[in-house]
Amino acid sequence: MNGFLMKHTTSKTDRFKKNIFPGILIVLGILFYTVYCSQLKREYGLVYIQLAPFQTGTGWGYEILANGKTYIRQSFIPAVAGEKNFKTKEDAIAVGNKVIQKMKMGEQLPTISFDELKQLGIIKDSLH
């Protein structure tokens, strides 16, 4: 049998296609996404809003983040005399969502009334 083995050599072009080119595409994709998102924020005033409940020493509070930065930090129930914490995480989330709803309606620093707390079930009676 008169045969020979060919040694396969990887050319620089093959290495570029297999290793470097996909990496360049990923970097370009991330760059495009970052620039595109920041452009949308500037052009349309878009803000990414998050609600983050947190535990206090005696209950719960909530934080509203705008584009990853603290916009509102509420560690006690608003519109109630004294500084009483929310009893449950769900209560804090309910009020936080109400605040976000108001923000979406255009209120930059939304407030929560005593009646709204009653409607949300946070306050069960007029004395709390």
Tell me the per-residue pLDDT of 8-63, one tens digit each, with 9 for 90 and over: 555 666 665 666 666 676 777 777 767 766 666 666 677 889 999 999 999 999 99
**How many beta carbons lie within 10 A of that of residue 73, not counting itself?**
12
- What b/e string do you get for 48-67 counting C-beta neighbours within 10 Å, with b at 16 or more? eeebebeeeeebbbbbbbee
Q: Are 66 and 100 in contact (CB under 8 A)?
A: no
Q: Are 97 and 120 in contact (CB under 8 A)?
A: no
Average pLDDT over residues 95-111: 91
- Is pLDDT larger for residue 62 or for residue 7? 62
114 phi and psi angles, rounded to 5 deg: -60, -40
DSSP E strand stretches across the chain: 49-55, 60-66, 69-74
- Is pLDDT larger for residue 118 or for residue 42? 118
Any idea where the domains of the chain sit in the sequence?
Answer: 11-46, 49-119
For the chain, the average pLDDT equals 82
* 108 vs 79: CA distance, rounded Å: 18
* 44 vs 29: CA distance, rounded Å: 22
Query: Structure pTM?
Result: 0.64
